[in-house]
Amino acid sequence: MQGGLCYDTCRSGYAGAVTMCVPDCPSGFRDDGLYCAKPASYGRGAGYAWQPADWFSDAGMFARCEADHGRGNCEKSGLIVYPKCKSGFVAVGANVCSPQCPSNTVDIGVSCQKNTYDRGVGTLPICGSGRENDAGLCYPSCPAGLRGVGPVCWQNGCPSEFPVACASVCARSAEACEAITGLLIVAVENLGRLSWCAR
């Protein structure tokens, strides 16, 4: 239920936003509505460049890198060998490791754009027996002769002895209605003054 209408429940990992289902951001990412802002990137150093003693092989660069970072933890980018990015990070350029965007988003650099999906137009809620829909909410049905407006049941029309409908009351005449309206306005103004004085 959103905005007085019923929608299909979104898939796991998504939150409802009226007609759209929007993916949640993973831990560590700031939720910016339709984007997940990435946490900070980090650098992986200057890398391990080729040296004359390496002859015409990459083996020396990898050996020096793996001596510092462990076997299998290095990769070549361009002409230089770098330590691999930590889990959850991907290499951007040569020596920067950037947080990896979740699978249901698109990497746009500093942020991840969420892939939303549409769940259709909402429907009015169906109220059970003995209840009626008013402005998207279900209320108990009013007794015969009364009509519901929100949470209140009002009498249909005014009785013959008070024939003039005057806002939420019935009056004997138009003049009486004007007098009642004036009294109500004064009462509301006085309540406003009282609440201001109380502060």
For the chain, the structural domain boundaries read 1-38+101-123, 42-88, 129-156, 160-199
Beta bridge partners of 123: 6
CB 136 within 8 A of CB 125: yes
* Residue 86 or 131, more confident: 86
- Rounded mean pLDDT, 71-75: 95
What is the tens place of the pLDDT at every residue in 136-166?
778 888 888 888 888 888 777 788 888 888 7
Helix %, strand %, coil % for the chain, to 5? 20, 35, 45
**Integer CA distances (angstroms), 70 to 44, 61, 63, in order:** 15, 13, 9
Residue 195 has pLDDT above 60, yes or no: no
Residue 23, class by beta-carbon neighbours within 10 Å (0-12 exposed, 13-18 middle, 19+ buried)?
buried
**The whole model's pTM is what?**
0.54
